Structure 1
């Protein structure tokens, strides 16, 4: 078992005792998985300012077990968005599974319950795991962060999805998934968008360049 996986197990045991860890066999590439409930909103108190902070990418507080709260020291000037009138009670529990190999690749998270229908999927990978941020932004770095550091991003995604489910609005900033977009915003030495933890130039950069050229030629036909 890698030292980074051991560190994640230790920190998750403290931060998210609600999620049960199970080690994977070596034949399954090792690593492990945490499964259990996360309820990102436990109280309606301060919900408006919290949602506004999420929408504006301001700092928020994530308590143990993945509960999000409005930051007490927040100095932001909050506004009320039109979509807030369509948001009702967001105190909804989710069952999730989080996997991590113990290496440089990012953790993955799947929403097990409630089941998300295809027409409600937004910012999710082809394997059904969620996409809470663009990996190249260094939001999560394998030799510094643990799975416990990944949990707040899961909770923000879950709240964002709840708002989307009720209003049709995705309230946080969005990234495209095209080769052209990746080449425009990701530097060669940044982490690759694919969550491998490898540098872009050593991972998907060449493939994106080829695909961008091919798509450009198709557009000229």
Structure 2
């Protein structure tokens, strides 16, 4: 081989060796102060993608502002009525009302003196026709506390007694009716409590004539009812 060939070969070898040494020096880990095992290896990857142009969506027109509506009252649901079949009406029970007995009217007054004008429409039963004649309670007549008049051994009186036992009116009979002493003696006579006359177990207004005289005690004796006076 000629000298020129060897020289070229050695130059090429020297250049390759110098290149390797330079590369070895560059990769030495001692230059950076870290071990080769702890040095991470970084890979750079570039991804090239082919993108399509994006068309924006069409703009949606804004809705007009809502008109405020008046507040509605809450509607209370009406309860539904159950459609039930009405029960059949019960048969009517006929109420039986007892018919009251007709009122008992006393017979007309027989041979009695006329009643007071205020009671002209009332029927006064003659005590002689009653089932039970009126009598003073405890058989006591109310007279004034004064001596019996000697001029009149007996005094006759006509009485009208209502159905409650009140003496509504009395009349002194004969000459004694005009004597002031007798009138004073009988001043409280109408306050005598009475049992009324009864006709068919019903109290009725009645009239009767009685006769009184001085008794053995403080109360006068009497006879009642007397027969109707003859006219």
For Structure 1 versus Structure 2, the TM-score category normalised by the shorter chain is under 0.3
Choose between structure 1 and 2 for higher RCO, CA contacts under 8 A separated by at least 6 residues. 1
TM-score (norm 1): 0.23
Q: Larger % of helix: which?
A: 1
TM-score by length of 2: 0.22
